[in-house]
Structure 1
C-alpha cells in the first residue's frame, strides 16, 4: 500500500532535516577550502610582487649607485617618521585615558562627599532618636508601644548606618585604585613623551642625511639636458614597473580580487563610475608633473587612497621617492609618490579615504605626487578627481 501524499511529504521532510547538518558541514568545508586556496593564491601574488620589487631595485642600483644610497636613506627616514607617528598616536591615547581617569576621580569624589553628608545626617538622627542609647529606652518610663517603635527605628538606623559605612569604605577603596591608576598613567605619559622626543631627534637626523644625499645627486647633473634625460629614465622605469605589475595582476586576477564584503556591507562603487568624483589624496596647490600631478602639501599631511583597492607596490622608486601603488581592479591603478612615510605594505586592502602615506616636506614646487592609470596607461588625473579641490 503506497503512503498517501501527505505522509510521503512528511517522510521526505524528515529525511531532508536529517541530512541538513551534513549538507551544511559539507558547504562550510568547501567554503573554508576555497578561502584557504584564495589566501594561498594571494600570498603567491604578494611574493611575486615583492620579488619583482627587489629585482626592480637591484636593476636601478646597478645602473646608478647613488640610487642605492637614496633608497636606503629614504627607507630610514620613512621608518623614523612612522615611529614618531605611532608614538604621537600613543601619546594622544595616554592623554585621553588620563582625562577619563581624572573625570572618573572627580565624579567619585563628588559621590563620596554626598555619602559623607548623608551619613552625618543619619548619625545625628540616630542620636536624637534615643540620645544614642537603646538602654535608655528600656529604663525609661515610656509606654511599651512607644519603646517598641523606638527600638525598631533604632535598629533601622543602625543597619542603614552600617550599610552606608560599608558603601563609603568600598568607594574610598575604588577611589584609591583610580588615584593609583592616574599616577601610573602619568608615569607612562612622561615615558611616552621622552620616547617621542628621542624618535623625533632621530627623524631629524635622518632627514638631514637625506637632504644631503639628494643635493649630491642633483649636483651630478651638469646641465638641463642631463636632468631631462634622468627624468625620462625615471618615467621609463615607472612604465616598466607598472607593466610588470599589471601582468602579475592579470595572470592572477581571481587571487588578487578583494575578499567578499560581509553581508549588509554596501558594495564599493567601481572606479569607472566615479569619474569626476574621486576625492583628492591630499590638499595643497596643484600643478602638472609628468603623467600626473604634484600637490604641494605640508610635510606630514596624510595622503589618502582615492578608492578601495589592494596595495601592489610600496617601496622607493627613483624620481618618485617612497611610492605606493594601489590596484583598484578592471585595470585601474592609483599611484602616490614623494611620501615620507608609507603606512601600508604589499597585499594590504585599503578603503577610499584611508591614509596610505604621509607627505614629505615640499621643496619649491615639488610635493606629493599622484598619478592614475588604466590598463597600464596614464590617464588625466584631474579629469577623474573632484572639482572641489
Structure 2
C-alpha cells in the first residue's frame, strides 16, 4: 500500500531551495536579514536553477529504472509511516503519564474530601450536643459574663471553621468533577490514538512486505557478481553527480554558510551511532566506498556529530533516505539508509541532536548507517574526524 507520494530527485529543488537559503545565514543573528521580498526572490531563483539540475539528473538511465522508482516510493512511504508511529507512541506515553497523574490527583482529592467530611462530622456533633439554641442556653445558665464571652467566642470559632470546611468540601467536589472529566477526555483520546496506532502498524506491515518483494525483485536482476558490481558502480556515479551539484551550489552562494569551527574538533567528534563497523573508508562497495557502514539495530537514533544546518533530507538511489548536514567551512556530513528523518531541511541542529533513525532504506539487506564526511565536495576518511572508540 503506497500512502505517501515520494519526492526523490524530483524534490531536490524544493528540499535544497529552502535548505540553501536558510544556510545563507538569513536566520543567523550574525548577518543582516534582507527584506522578505528579496529573500523570496533569491529562493525562487535558486529553486528554478535546482529544478533544472534535478530534471537533468532524472533523465539518466539509472533514474528511469522502474524497480528503483518503486523502491523509492515504498521506502519513502515507510519513512512517513515510521514518523507517524513515533509521534503516536510519544502521544500515547504522554497520555498514559497524564492519566496516571490525574488518577493520583483524584485519589488525593478524594482522601482530602473524606478528611474534611470527618472533621465536619465532629463539629456538627459538638453543635448537636449543645442543642438548637446554644447561645440562649449559655445566657440562661452562666452567671459569669467573662466566661460567657469566652464560650461565645468559642462558638463563633466553631461556626467559622464549619463554614470554611463546607466551602473547602465544595471546592474539592468541583475539583474532583473536573478531574473525572479530564480523565474521561484523556481516556477517549487514548482510545483514538490506540486505534490509529494499530492502523499505522498494519500499514507498516503491508509496506514492509511490499519492500521485501521489491528488494528481492531488484536482486533477481543480477545474473552474475559482475552485473551486481556494475549496478553498484552506476549507483555511486549517479550519487556523485548529485552530491557534486549540492556542493557546487553551496560553494557558489553569495553568502557562504557561517563557520561552526568544525576544524577545531577534528579527531574529537562523537560517533553518529554506536555499532559495529561493517566497512571502512575505501573498502566498501558502491555508494559505501567513501565512508563507514556502521551496523546497529533498526530504529536506533542517529545523532548530529557537530552543529550545522540540514540542507538535504530525501530519498536518493543507492543511499535510500539520505540526510546531509552542512557544518560551514565547506564541510558536510552524510547520513544514509535512514529509517526515517527526525530533522527537516533548513533545521539548525546542535551536537547530539537526533537526525533520524537507523534503517535499511536504499534496498539494504540489513539495517545500518552509512556515514560520510566531505570537504570541498571531496570525501575524506571519517576516522580522521570522529573520536577513537573507548
Fold conserved (TM > 0.5)?
A: yes
Aligned mate of 2:275, from 277, 284, 288: 284
CA–CA separation in structure 2 for the residues paired with 1:45 and 1:306: 32
| C-alpha contact 1:277 1:385 (8 A) present in aligned 2 | yes
State the match for 1:144 in structure 2: 145
Q: What secondary structure is seen at the aligned counterpart in 1 of 2:327?
A: strand
Deviation at 1:287, TM superposition (A): 2.2
**What runs of 5+ residues in structure 1 fail to find an aligned partner?**
1-30, 259-267
Alpha carbons of 1:50 and 1:179: their partners in 2 closer, same or farther (altered >3 Å)? Answer: farther
Once the two structures are superposed, residues 319-338 of structure 1 have per-residue CA deviations (whole angstroms, 9 ceiling, x without a partner) of 11111111111111111111
| C-alpha contact 1:49 1:313 (8 A) present in aligned 2 | no
Deviation at 1:136, TM superposition (A): 1.7
| C-alpha contact 2:260 2:327 (8 A) present in aligned 1 | no
State the match for 2:262 in structure 1: 271
Determine whether 1:349 maps to 2:340: no
Deviation at 1:36, TM superposition (A): 4.0
CA–CA separation in structure 1 for the residues paired with 2:334 and 2:35: 29
Alignment of 1:77-96 (within 5 A): 77-96=78-97
| C-alpha contact 2:373 2:379 (8 A) present in aligned 1 | yes
Alignment of 1:295-310 (within 5 A): 295-310=294-309
State the match for 1:74 in structure 2: 75
Q: What secondary structure is seen at the aligned counterpart in 1 of 2:34?
A: helix
Alpha carbons of 1:327 and 1:77: their partners in 2 closer, same or farther (altered >3 Å)? Answer: same
Q: Which has the larger radius of gyration?
A: 1
Alpha carbons of 1:195 and 1:134: their partners in 2 closer, same or farther (altered >3 Å)? Answer: same
Deviation at 1:158, TM superposition (A): 0.9
Deviation at 1:181, TM superposition (A): 0.8
CA–CA separation in structure 2 for the residues paired with 1:275 and 1:202: 43
| C-alpha contact 1:49 1:245 (8 A) present in aligned 2 | no
Deviation at 1:144, TM superposition (A): 3.0
| C-alpha contact 2:58 2:64 (8 A) present in aligned 1 | no
Deviation at 1:53, TM superposition (A): 4.9
State the match for 1:386 in structure 2: 387
Alpha carbons of 1:45 and 1:125: their partners in 2 closer, same or farther (altered >3 Å)? Answer: farther
Once the two structures are superposed, residues 209-268 of structure 1 have per-residue CA deviations (whole angstroms, 9 ceiling, x without a partner) of 0111111011101111111111111111222111111111122252x636xxxxxxxxx9
State the match for 1:340 in structure 2: 339
CA–CA separation in structure 2 for the residues paired with 1:338 and 1:175: 51
CA–CA separation in structure 2 for the residues paired with 1:102 and 1:54: 58
Alpha carbons of 1:47 and 1:354: their partners in 2 closer, same or farther (altered >3 Å)? Answer: farther
Deviation at 1:303, TM superposition (A): 1.5
Q: What secondary structure is seen at the aligned counterpart in 1 of 2:84?
A: helix
State the match for 1:178 in structure 2: 179
CA–CA separation in structure 2 for the residues paired with 1:380 and 1:45: 35
Determine whether 1:210 maps to 2:201: no
CA–CA separation in structure 1 for the residues paired with 2:48 and 2:388: 38
| C-alpha contact 1:342 1:357 (8 A) present in aligned 2 | yes
Greater relative contact order structure (CA < 8 Å, 6+ sep): 2
Deviation at 1:32, TM superposition (A): 7.6
| C-alpha contact 1:60 1:67 (8 A) present in aligned 2 | no
Alpha carbons of 1:237 and 1:103: their partners in 2 closer, same or farther (altered >3 Å)? Answer: same
| C-alpha contact 2:85 2:200 (8 A) present in aligned 1 | yes
Alignment of 1:1-389 (within 5 A): 34=34, 36=36, 39-40=39-40, 43-44=43-44, 47=47, 51=51, 52-53=53-54, 56-57=57-58, 59=60, 62-127=63-128, 133-252=134-253, 254=255, 257=257, 270-288=261-279, 289=284, 290-361=289-360, 367-388=368-389
Deviation at 1:102, TM superposition (A): 1.8
State the match for 1:22 in structure 2: none
**What runs of 5+ residues in structure 2 fail to find an aligned partner?**
1-30
Q: How many aligned positions are there?
A: 349
CA–CA separation in structure 2 for the residues paired with 1:95 and 1:211: 35
| C-alpha contact 1:46 1:347 (8 A) present in aligned 2 | no
